[in-house]
Homo-oligomer: A and B are copies of this chain.
Amino acid sequence: MLGRTYDQVCSVARTLEIVGERWTFLIIRDALLDVRRFDGFLSRLGIARNVLTDRLNRLVENGILERVAYQERPLRYEYHLTTKGRELAPVIITMMEWGDRHLADEAGPPRIAEHKDCAGHVVAQLACEECARPVPVGEVTTRPARAPLSGVAG
Contacts and interface: CB of A to CB of B under 8 A. Distances in A.
Given A10-B111, A120-B129, A124-B124, 17 more contacts: A2-B22, A9-B110, A12-B29, A14-B99, A20-B22, A89-B140, A90-B137, A93-B142, A96-B142, A110-B153, A111-B142, A111-B143, A111-B154, A115-B130, A119-B130, A120-B130, A124-B125
Interface of A: 1-2, 6-16, 18, 20-22, 25-26, 29, 32-33, 44-46, 63, 84, 86-104, 107-131, 134-135, 137-146, 152-154
B125 A127 contact: yes
B20 A109 contact: no
A135 B42 CA distance: 31
A11 B102 CA distance: 9
B91 A115 contact: no
A20 B25 contact: yes
Across the A-B interface, give the 6 residue pairs with the lowest CB-CB distance, nearest first. A120-B130, A11-B99, A111-B154, A15-B99, A115-B128, A120-B128
Given A25-B20, A122-B126, A44 B152 contact: yes
A87 to B, nearest CB: 6
B96 A137 contact: no
